[in-house]
Structures are given as C-alpha cells and as structure tokens.
Chain A
Amino acid sequence: MNGYGGSVLRVNLSTGQIQKQPTPQDVARDFLGGRGFGIYFLTKEVPPKADPFGQENKMIISSGPFSGLMIPGAGKCDWTTKSPLTGGYASASLGGHFTAELKYAGLDSIILEGISPKPVYLFIDDNQVELRDASHLWGKGSITVEKELKEQYGEEYQIATIGPAGENGVLFAHINHDYGRQAGRGGVGAVLGTKKVKAIVLHGTKSIPVADLPAYRQAGINLFKACKDAEILKEWQSYGTTMVVSWCDEVGALPTRNFTAGSFEDGKNLYGPVMRKTIVVSDKGCFACPSPCGKYSHTRRYNTYVEGPEYETIGMLGSDLGLGNIEDVAQANLLCDDLGIDTISTGGVIAWAMECFERGIFTKKDTDGLELKFGNAQAVFALIEKIARKDGFGALLAEGVKRASQKTGQGSEKFAIHVKGMEQSAYATHNATAMLLAYMTCDVGAHHNRAWAITYDIQVGREKVTTEKVARVIWLQNFRPMFDVLGACRLQWVELSIDRDLYLPALQAITGIPRSWKDLETVGERIWNLTRLYWIREIDGFGREWDLPAPRFYEDAPKTGATAGQITRFEDVQKLLDYYYEQRGWSKNGIPTPETIARLNLEQFVY
C-alpha cells in the first residue's frame, strides 16, 4: 500500500506471542492512519468497560501516511489507549524521530496487548522483533534509560521510555523520547507501566512505497519552500512556542495561580526573549522539521540541561504555580521529564494543592511538611518527586485533580481546573468563549491542541457567543487533528501559516489516491464522532454534564490582570453547548443522533 509501512505489529505481552498482520486497506481509506487508526482499533478491540490497567486494555501506537517521508515535521505518531486518568479516550501525539523508524521497519501500528509478567522492553530492528528483559532499567529515569539504550545499540536506534511514574501508575504519567519529547497526556505512560513495558527500541531501513515519486518530490519541495519563505520563520525558530508567552500575559490568557487570573506580575521574566537570552543553548527539532521549535536549555542555578520549557510548561509549571524564574521552571520541567509525568497535569494538580494550602484546607501536616505556597520552587521540586513516587502527600496528587479534589472535598472541587478529569492546559478562559468551548468539548479532556481558538477569540471579540464562533471551533476540531492522522506536525500550518492546499498534492503523490480537504475533514469528523461514541460506551450516564468547564470560568472573575472583572456567564456556557450540539448533529445531551452516525458510516460502532 503506497504511503504505508504495510503491517500492524501485535505483541501479546502476557504470552510473548508476536504477530504481523497486513494493514487493513478499508481502515486506511476510512481512517487514514495515526489517531484514526488509534480510535478504530481501540473501539474494535478493547471490550467495553475494560479496566485501563487490566489485561484487556491495549496501547496502540500509529504512524500516518506522511510519517517518515519528506514532508515538514513528518515525525509524529499517535498513542491511543483507554485513559486511566479520565476513564475515556486517550490519544497523545509524539514528535521526535521515533515515527520515521517505525515506518522504516515496515510498520504502521504497534498494538501492545495483555500484561507482561516481568519488566521488558520491546526491541524492533526491521524484521527482528523481541521482548527483552528490562529488570536492569526498571526504576530508572527516562533520560538515563534512553542514554543507556543508545549507548548499547547506537545513535540510530530511537527510544521511547517511561519513567518511575509510569511504573508506579501515576495517572498522568507520560512517555518520553529524544531526551525531551513526550506523548504527554491522559496517562499513556501509566498504561505502559502497568503492562510492564519500560521502553521501545526501534530501528528500520526499509523504504516506504510512494505512488508517484517525481510528483512527491516536487510536492515536498513546495512545502519546504513555503516554510522557508514564511514571514515569521526566523522569530518562530528563535523562540518556538515561548513566542506567545508575552501575548498570553497581555491578553489575560496566561494561567496564573491556579487560574485565578490570566496575567502574571512576574510574567515578563518568563517571556521568550528572556528565556532565549538566559538559558537556551540551541534549537532542537523533530524529523524533517524546517522550523525547529524545540529549545535545548541549560540552567546555571542547577547546572542541568533540559529540552524546553515550551509554552504549556511555562504556563503550568511557571505562572500557574506563581514561579517567576525561568530557571526554576526549566528545572521543574526536567524533573517531570525524567520521572515521567506530564508537565501540564503536574502543574494543574500542584496549583490546586497550593490553593488548598493557602485557603487552609491543607496544612503542613497534610503536605508532609511542605510549605505549599505559590512561588515556592523548592516545594514544587519536592512535590514532583513525591507525585512520581506516590510518596506520602504525592500519592493523593498522583490521582489527578478531579479525584484528589473529590477525596478532599471542602469545596475544593470548585477550583479543580479540569474537564472530564483531565487538567486544563495553559490558556486561561475566563473571557475567551471559543477557547472555553474548545476545552469543554475536546475529545480527551481539557487539552488545547484540537482547537487552538484563543487567537480567534481575540480577533472577533472574546466575549461573543455566536454560531460563527462555534462553527470555527468545530472546523478546527475536524481539521487540525488531520495532522495527527497523517503523521505530520501541524505547526507549519498553524504558526508559519503555510497554505494548507500544498499538502494535498503530496498526499496524492504518496498514496496515489486524490483527496480533497472536504473529504479529509469528513474523515476528521468521523474520528471526532467515534471518539464521542467511545466516551458514551465507556461511561454510564455520559452526556452534557461532562462537557461543563471548571466553575472558576463562570463564577470567579479574576481580580487582577488584563481580564480583571471579566467572566463568562453560565447561561452563555450552556448556549455554547446548545449551538455546538446542534451544529455537530448531536442531541441536547451531546449524543450523536442516528442520522449523524449514518452519515459518517459509523453504524458498525454503535452498541
């Protein structure tokens, strides 16, 4: 099949059985790859109501038809599983160089099934596939493990690994690769940990078949040329995603002290240029990236090296914790990477605990003696370690902000900032209704990357609640994840603003099948609805209530900063959902109607 590795690798960890199957053509047609393959296999193969940490859950790692080819940033793969954090759908995207090797080994997906009786790592070198003993790696940090495995096998081997947090089942444990790229959200690392898989080591040498080689080359050149000519390339490369810290601070979108405000009085110490000047050593990019956004940094205060921090981490481990020193943020980032926890959820859960402490809900007796005040960097470092090891007070936070607040009570549920159990990423949405809706309806919980609508809010009027705004969110949700499906980075389109039509000739030349954006957006819509059906299948009573945001965004107007006194009214929150469900073809309770299911060919997935 042109554009594909050709096989799905199935590894049964319980029995040690390893099988390769041809990638199904009809699935490639309807779901293309990446995230599409993920939700297809998850829905088809993991039985309803499976325990995320049980034998029946699977980890599905998938590339797309662009992955491993000369398309900008074509090094993305998707990690799909049933989320231990939310109990629903988890899908996390990983950059770096892992995915290209996956394709070169002739694979489109790896499906990990069952639970290994002992710690192992999966070793793949072209056709050689083995489970190898990982007892000597168990307990070690992600960065140490990657280094050891690279020393053993060589630089050309690509490695994805979990840290101690994944082994310990921290519900927001992540997967680390390339010393600082992550499949971050939803607890994918915890699923790998309970399966006793410490790492995947990957290397391949096969070519990917392409339908029309000259046309593919030309289409690739056109894409790279557009990136090179982009007006903003130089600035993007200098600052990466930290470019937007100052703008978010200015417009009141920078999460500050558990989202009590959207502007931070020490924010300017965290801005991109400050970071570039004080800690950045060099730029670092993924496979085939013409516009590397990764920043490799060195902290003088701690004498440590880390990839990052990028915007989300600056927001969640910086301003949201009241930390106004970029070196402290970088150090917290490094601890999370090595111990194996998602920086966004970690920041969210620590910010909530700090607010509890400042309100007197927790005292030093509860926090193992930690003075958990906003701005206390040492307490943050200590707590990150405790969370990853589920040690003392850290064990409560290791369950995520939803469960921790339910256990704690005393009104703390009201300022637990999450949707569907996933901690909200780094955009304060007191008065940004499109972004708020994007978080409310995102298919994994409160994550920004399906619909980064905050810029649209500012362009068209942030407080407006209109059908046009809702349509924009839906369009973004259908279109943006296509990059996760195709296996390429979206940032060249999002940030460099290259023309999206340049991707179509490339896709046609690679697969031999002409497809329009309208057709691809239908694939996006099909995937979006299938993920919704998955939530409905897994959670009894799932519906509208699950799409509500944290009360902070309709009850607690910020007292300081650019959005002081501004808040979204609860009736507008409901209105956003009404418009959204109607435009999606869902019932008033947020359930896809039979007509919508039929229109998208999803009948086979309805139970």
Chain B
Amino acid sequence: MAAILKLFGILKKYIQGADQIMVPANITVRQAITTLHIPPEIVALVVVNGNQQSKEYIIQNDDEIKLLAIMGGGR
C-alpha cells in the first residue's frame, strides 16, 4: 500500500535532489510532508492524480502526488 510523491523546485533538496519518493498510503499529505521535514507552508500546491487537493487529503494506494513549492520568481 504505497503511493508516489513527486517533488518540484526547491522541494527537491528535502529528498537529496531526487525527483520522487515512495510514501505509505492511509496517511495525510501533511503527515507525509512532515515526515520528510518539509515545512508545510512552503508547499503551495498538492496535486493528486491531476487534481488539486488539500494537505489533509488521505493518500490512497497507487496515487501519484505532486508537491509544488511556492514560486514568486527568482531564478
């Protein structure tokens, strides 16, 4: 029972520069973020299987979850 978590932008540094990581199902996105030591407030957008969801979304088996950091320019 697991899902794929894909991280973008500045969030990649929290998984040592990798693009994605497996996370267990049946926890919330917020819990998954916290276990990775990512401050939840820098995650602007949670997209699960193509739809924006809240951080309280409960991760389901085989979900594909994208986490996007707040932007605001700067590159």
Contacts and interface: CB of A to CB of B under 8 A. Distances in A.
Interface string B1-24: 000000011100000000000000
Contacts of A238: 52
B41 A232 contact: no
B72 A235 contact: no
Given A452-B72, A494-B72, A499-B75, A458 B54 contact: no
A250 B40 CA distance: 9
Interface stretch (A21-29, A241-249, A294-302, A574-582): A241-249
A232 B71 contact: yes
B40 to A, nearest CB: 8
Given A232-B8, A268-B54, A272-B52, A244 B44 contact: yes
Contacts of A496: 71
Contacts of A569: none
Nearest to A499: B75
Contacts of B72: 452-456, 494
A480 B73 contact: yes
A452 B44 CA distance: 15
A367 B33 CA distance: 49
- Does more than half of chain B's interface fall in helix, strand or loop, or is it mixed? mixed
Given A231-B68, A235-B47, A273-B51, A459 B9 contact: no
B42 interface: yes
A475 to B, nearest CB: 9
A495 interface: yes
Interface in B39-66: 40-42, 44-45, 47, 50-55, 66
B70 interface: yes
Contacts of B8: 231-232
A493 interface: yes
Contacts of A497: 9, 71, 73-75
Contact of A231 (B9, B55, B73): B9
B70 A235 contact: no
Given A243-B52, A246-B54, A273-B51, A235 B41 contact: no
Interface in A162-177: none
A599 interface: no
A147 interface: no
A89 interface: no
A515 interface: no
Interface residues of A, number: 34
B15 to A, nearest CB: 15
A490 interface: yes
A436 B75 CA distance: 23
B32 to A, nearest CB: 16
Residue from A232, A244, A452, A480 whose CB has the most chain B CB atoms within 10 Å: A232
Interface residues of B, number: 23
Given A231-B9, A268-B54, A272-B52, A452 B68 contact: no
B4 to A, nearest CB: 15
Greatest chain B CB density within 10 A among A246, A271, A456 is at A246
A510 to B, nearest CB: 22
Interface string A255-294: 0000000000000100111000000000000000000000
A329 to B, nearest CB: 18
A454 B73 CA distance: 11
A459 B70 contact: yes
A559 interface: no
A268 B75 CA distance: 31
A188 to B, nearest CB: 26
Looking at A238, A459, A476, A480, the one whose CB has the most chain B CB atoms below 10 A away is A459
B71 A494 contact: yes
Contact of B70 (A247, A271, A273, A500): A247
Given A231-B9, A235-B52, A238-B52, A458 B41 contact: yes
A495 B71 contact: yes
11 contacts: A231-B9, A232-B8, A235-B52, A238-B52, A273-B51, A452-B72, A453-B72, A455-B72, A494-B72, A497-B73, A499-B75
**Closest 5 pairs between A and B when the two form their complex, measured CB to CB:** A455-B72, A455-B70, A494-B73, A273-B52, A247-B44
Given A231-B68, A273-B51, A458-B41, 6 more contacts: A243-B52, A246-B54, A454-B72, A455-B70, A493-B73, A494-B72
